[in-house]
Amino acid sequence: MSKSVHLPVLLETILENLALAPGSTVLDGTMGGGGHSLAFCQQVGPQGRVFGFDRDPAAVRQTNDVLPENGLGIAGNYADIPEYLDQLEIRSVDAILLDLGLSSDQLADSERGFSFKSAGPLDLRFDSTAGEPAWRLINRLGEKHLADLIYEYGEERFSRRIARKICRLRHDQPIKTADQLAQIVRSCIPRRKRETIDPATRTFQALRIAVNEELKWLGVALKRLPDCLAIGGKFAIISFHSLEDRMVKNAFAEDRRLKVLTKRPLMADAAEVAGNPRSRSAKLRIAERVAVDSSLR
């Protein structure tokens, strides 16, 4: 199995704010390349336990090869963590992390379609054995439905123009690769001077969210996971776009089980962004599990 090339974002900030004691039990709900999980294993020591979850079976296999004895990767959806804890006979944990971004390993895999330069299939699924690949989605949806999807999940103001061109071109030849779609999207969006983000970014984001049902599962997790935490346990979530961040911010603020510890999201400093440009859009929010007066329910 090849070595992970992924750099975990906001690693030192997370370790500092979670302040895990030796012997703690931690859940990494989006294990990816295992960067956060490995650091947690070191921080909690041999008496602690770290359980990593990921919907991508390839990531789990790869990371299990490098995790120490106090770490274990499990292939599964983070929204189902309560069921996994029941199977493991664990009543509560001391910290939960969700890193909602893509890993560099996924971007580097030409068969997954996450990279705009990929000539491989436009798949975009975290688990390639479940659900519908993105290339099939964009070749079957009606123009209005496709435009609405790109606008809602990608916040792309040129969504109707993009959907119109996709539907026109697919009549002649199905659009099946990431580089095909990226070229189409770029041709529909006026390029601004000093633009640092590829114009295709928002459309790819929208399709990835759709095929993986990301916002649906995040919503489920925000309701279910606080009950997995011990009193005083920390719930940390790293988001990368406004749709996710808004959901996390509102859920933390409205949940009586949680006390918000970050009034404003924590972000990468200039040094981290220079070493890992993908960290520039990362926003970290942390809440603490508190006791709830049952008489108020």
Domain ranges of the chain: 11-105+216-296, 110-214
CA angle (20, 22, 23) in 5-degree steps = 105
Cα distances (Å, whole numbers) of residue 84 to 73, 88, 89, 125: 12, 6, 9, 22
CA distance 46 to 248: 32
Going edge to edge, which strands form the sheet with 93-99? 71-75, 49-54, 25-28, 93-99, 229-239, 283-289, 258-260
The pLDDT value given to residue 1: 43
The pLDDT tens digits along the chain (297 residues) read 455 556 899 999 999 999 999 999 999 999 988 999 999 999 999 999 999 999 988 889 989 999 999 999 999 999 999 999 999 999 999 999 999 987 655 655 666 777 777 788 899 998 888 889 999 999 999 999 999 999 999 999 999 999 999 999 999 999 999 999 999 999 999 887 777 788 999 999 999 999 999 999 999 999 999 999 999 999 999 999 999 999 999 999 999 999 999 999 999 999 999 998 888 999 999 999 999 876 555
The CATH class given to the 11-105+216-296 domain equals alpha beta
Q: What's the CA gap between 55 and 35, in Å, rounded?
A: 16
Intra-chain end-to-end CA distance of the chain, in Å: 50
pLDDT given at position 59 = 86
Structural fold of domain 110-214 = DNA polymerase; domain 1 (1.10.150)
